[in-house]
Structure 1
Amino acid sequence: MNSDTETPSENDLSFWNNRNLEFRVLILGRANAGKTTILERLTGASMDEAEVWRDGKILPGQLIQTVKGQIDVCPKRGLHNIDDEIRFRPKPGFVFHDSRGVEAGSATELSTVQRFVEERSLTVKDLQTQLHVIWMCLPLDECRELFGSERDIFRLLKGTVPLVVIFTKQDGAVSKETSQILMDSPGNTRSRSIRKEARSKAELKVINRVKELEGELRGLGLTDNTTVFLTTGGIFIAIGVDDGMEMPTVDAEKSCQQLIDLTEECLTGPRIKTLLSVVWGHNLLKRGFWCLYW
């Protein structure tokens, strides 16, 4: 047993009873990739309720708004700091870090991400300060192909930290494809049957696009066994952030749970899996082998 003056180690049950356990996530993606929506649905709070910490201190209100405004819009250079910690009181164990929209693709931005990942890689002994997972958001309603900067990010991240690739904005992509199909169709596009058929074709096109993107990443060797893709029913389709996470519905809860489950799947080692379980609020008795391990 540790004395009162000792810091509990990760092998002690007292460590896991610590109310200040933290699971650290770096969320990446171009501007308007749906990162804000994911954070809000996962934590059950709006960005207006987020706390932003820098160097162990919470930022004053005006600066907080500046940082939060950079999550899903093109930020101004010089204002953003990847080391800033974004926290939400309803889920106090989650600590989020955000990088500038990766479509910028500058050498400076890439080196900033690289430095951050290296400093907080899984080789860091302190479980509390490690970077535990990266969530990479790829929106489906915009460019059909990966940006060069996104390829660079994948090359940079390969094998460093577990990675979840999240295809976002599925519903927006389907709506755009449906509109395009109807525009290209002769005759009466107001017919319910024609519109229904157009949407079915659009959904299939979006599903195929996700398969192509995943195949491209795997073909380029940019993924490994610590990489997972957000999937449903064994088919590579995207969680629709626009329609599955936009409102706090039962479907939104299922989407969030699926994200947590897939995050757990790509994590390496029982310590980090247990940490995610505790922070997310699972009952560890359901994970009996972890309890037995400790």
Structure 2
Amino acid sequence: MNSDAETPSENDLSFWNDRHLEFRVLILGRANAGKTTILERLTGAAMHEAEVSRDGETLVGQTVKGQIDRGLHNIDDEIRFRSRPGFVFHDSRGVEAGSATELSTVQRFVEKRSSAATDLRRQLHVIWMCLPLDDSRELFETERDIFLQLKDMAPLVVVFTKHDGAVSKETSQILMDFPENTRNRSGRKEARKKAEIKVFNRVKELEGELRGLGLADSTTAFLTTSGMEVPTGDAEKSCQELIDLTEACLTGPRIKTLLSMVWGHNLLKHGFWCLYWTILRRGA
């Protein structure tokens, strides 16, 4: 059994000097929801470079590529990337399958790692729920169940993925209703504008439905991503926005400090929080 000296509290400055601080994310979504793409852009690495561990032991030969979007992982498996060593990702099995067992597995996992159940080192810090815009126009019943189950249990960022694919698909459908002699460059431009409006309205409808389920407080945020398939400036911007929205959903300065230190891009904010904790500790 570990002593207090072996497991320092997050109030102890030695905790924040630990080079192995970790920020824990549960990423959910149906098959082909774009989870793999988000992780690859965020970490700047390919999925086959990820390391998977279970109960502290690395799973030798574990292949991650292509599995996370099909939900083949044990939810307790920890997925890490050498390029972003401070992040620990967890994935669930197929959300769209509708299995009561899988839904209860997700719920038990979140309960076990909630802020009330464990310390900052082991707790789940945020859930990213991916909903692809180029697939179904509506939420799956299992997705509604998950939102209802997880409401208020952890900070949540809902990521509407594949916006560009949805616009392209809508554009093609709209063009089919145009007379053949108007399907020129200007016709395609008009069709794309209409498609962008339709996809925008769909996002707002989905947001409204989710807010109707009770997801409307400061611990919930919504993000729409586009052009994430390749590493571009827009993809990098979306990743930064995902981190910013995640931080905004977090409750309390300790977890915000942790994310700032793990992400490591906002050095000014990092320095502010370190100063905050130093003053707090001295005043204790």
TM > 0.5 fold call: yes
2:255 is aligned with 1:262: no
Match of 2:225 in 1: 239
Aligned-partner Cα distance in 2 for 1:137–1:33: 6
Match of 1:215 in 2: 208
1:272 alignment partner, SS class? helix
Once the two structures are superposed, the pairs formed by residues 68-217 of structure 1 within 5 Å of their partners are 68-73=65-70, 75=72, 80-217=73-210
Percent identity, aligned pairs only? 80
Q: Which amino acid aligns with 1:29?
A: G
Cα offset for 1:14? 2.4
Match of 1:56 in 2: 56
Report the TM-score when normalising by structure 2: 0.92
Residue of 263, 267, 273 corresponding to 2:256: 273
Match of 2:11 in 1: 11
Could you list the runs of 5+ residues in structure 2 that have no partner in the other structure?
278-284
- Larger mean Cα displacement after TM superposition, 154-163 or 216-225: 216-225
Query: Which 4+ stretches in 1 moved above 4 angstroms?
Result: none
Match of 2:45 in 1: 45
Aligned-partner Cα distance in 2 for 1:43–1:70: 17
Change (3 A) 1:74 1:164: closer
2:138 alignment partner, SS class? coil
Change (3 A) 1:263 1:74: closer
Cα offset for 1:287? 4.8
1:211-267 deviation per Cα after TM superposition (whole angstroms, max 9, x unaligned): 00001111232443311111xxxxxxx211xx1x22222211111100000000000
Contact conserved, 1:135 with 1:166, CA < 8 A, in 2?
Answer: yes
2:241 alignment partner, SS class? helix
Match of 1:251 in 2: 234
Cα offset for 1:130? 0.3
Aligned-partner Cα distance in 1 for 2:153–2:250: 12
Cα offset for 1:74? 5.8
Report the TM-score when normalising by structure 1: 0.89
Contact conserved, 1:70 with 1:100, CA < 8 A, in 2?
Answer: no
Aligned-partner Cα distance in 2 for 1:140–1:94: 26
Computed over aligned residues only, the root mean square deviation of the Cα atoms, in angstroms, reads 1.7
Cα offset for 1:283? 4.3
1:150 alignment partner, SS class? helix
Cα offset for 1:5? 5.4
Count, aligned residues? 274
Could you list the runs of 5+ residues in structure 1 that have no partner in the other structure?
231-237
2:69 alignment partner, SS class? coil
Contact conserved, 1:158 with 1:224, CA < 8 A, in 2?
Answer: no
1:29-60 deviation per Cα after TM superposition (whole angstroms, max 9, x unaligned): 00000000000000010011000001111112
Q: Which amino acid aligns with 2:207?
A: E
Contact conserved, 1:178 with 1:202, CA < 8 A, in 2?
Answer: yes
1:105-136 deviation per Cα after TM superposition (whole angstroms, max 9, x unaligned): 11001000011000000113421100000000
